[in-house]
Structure 1
Amino acid sequence: MSKEDDNKATVGRWFTEFWGSAYNPSVVDELAAPDMLLQYSLHEPRRGRADIKAFMGDFRAAFPDLAFAGAAELIAEGDYVVGRWVGGGTHTGPAFSDFLIGSLPAATGRAMRFTGTTVLRLKDGKIVEELGLDDGVSALQQLGLIKAV
């Protein structure tokens, strides 16, 4: 297999076990570099395995059915893999204050479903950066944190 194929296999596993419906926290230790950067427009950037696991633990506690899945084939070139995805969840858990635009009180019952594109950079088989551009406006509208005008 080529480097690109190996990188796509790593990212495919990351998308399934980190972002998918069957979250496996140990995948962070296996696939993420110790100082990995995770950055999306809805949240503060996260750096390092412990910070990334804490973020996902809080996110999944607030949205127990949280799940994202690929919406197209992964594209790889050199150290980079690009993926399109769709997903979301329903806020039935504790209060959640990780959105940059505002907070949710406990168990609002509001659902979000949105899309995005993510660029991941790998080095020596580990994910060192995950930078995503998501349709955060749709998610925040669905959650009632912003209003359409």
Structure 2
Amino acid sequence: MDEAAKKLYRRWLSELWAGDHDVAAELVSEDFAIHHGEIRPGTERELVGPTGLVKLVELGRQPFDELRFTLAVGPIVEGDLLSARWIGNGTYTGGVAGATAVPGTEVEFAGNDILRFRDGRFVAYWVCSDGPWLMKQLGVDG
């Protein structure tokens, strides 16, 4: 099970977050729940299942071109949980409110994922990324 979960996560980074939305249904269950910022299960802002995940990925990728992710730590599996640290790199294309960075600015940011898996797919997702550092690179005052 450990190796299967690790393989699934590698696809998560290398395919899904690279923009291949078709793999979402292979990676997550229909009841997949996202816990991230204001996105919470059971609220009006919930994003669930493969469709919700695709929306999250689209929102995350929208202001960047050539966005790519690499593993920094892990993935580490314990029981039904997987954790990893990733580094994201990309080119800012514009569209972030309050940003003063010019399109073409290269950015780098990092984050940590925790995912619960069951029956060969992810069923829950918690992410913590260094948004303040990213916003500083984009020139957003805060």
Contact 1:111/1:143 (8 A) holds in 2: no
Distance, in Å, in 1 between the alignment partners of 2:27 and 2:73 is 22
Residue 125 of structure 2, aligned match among 127, 130, 137: 130
Distance, in Å, in 1 between the alignment partners of 2:9 and 2:88 is 17
The one-letter code of the counterpart of 1:135 is: D
Distance, in Å, in 2 between the alignment partners of 1:76 and 1:12 is 13
Residue 119 of structure 1: how far off its partner (Å):
0.7
Map of 1:118 onto structure 2? 113
Residue 104 of structure 1: how far off its partner (Å):
5.5
Q: TM-score, normalised by structure 2?
A: 0.79
Contact 2:116/2:123 (8 A) holds in 1: yes
Contact 2:98/2:141 (8 A) holds in 1: no
Residue 30 of structure 1: how far off its partner (Å):
0.8
The one-letter code of the counterpart of 2:27 is: L
Contact 1:19/1:69 (8 A) holds in 2: no
Residue 138 of structure 2, aligned match among 134, 140, 143: 143
Distance, in Å, in 2 between the alignment partners of 1:6 and 1:135 is 28
Distance, in Å, in 2 between the alignment partners of 1:146 and 1:75 is 35
The one-letter code of the counterpart of 2:71 is: G
Residue 38 of structure 1, aligned match among 29, 34, 48: 34
Contact 1:40/1:134 (8 A) holds in 2: no
Residue 34 of structure 1: how far off its partner (Å):
1.2
Alignment: residue pair count:
134
Residue 108 of structure 1: how far off its partner (Å):
4.0
Distance, in Å, in 1 between the alignment partners of 2:140 and 2:51 is 28
Distance, in Å, in 2 between the alignment partners of 1:117 and 1:24 is 21
Helix, strand or coil at the partner of 2:73: coil
Contact 2:29/2:50 (8 A) holds in 1: yes
Distance, in Å, in 2 between the alignment partners of 1:78 and 1:91 is 38
Residue 68 of structure 1: how far off its partner (Å):
1.3
Residue 117 of structure 1: how far off its partner (Å):
1.3
Map of 1:76 onto structure 2? 77
Residue 4 of structure 1: how far off its partner (Å):
1.4
Residue 12 of structure 1, aligned match among 10, 13, 23: 10
Contact 2:6/2:77 (8 A) holds in 1: yes
Task: Report the RMSD for the aligned CA atoms in angstroms.
Answer: 2.3
Distance 1:118 1:92, change over 3 A: same
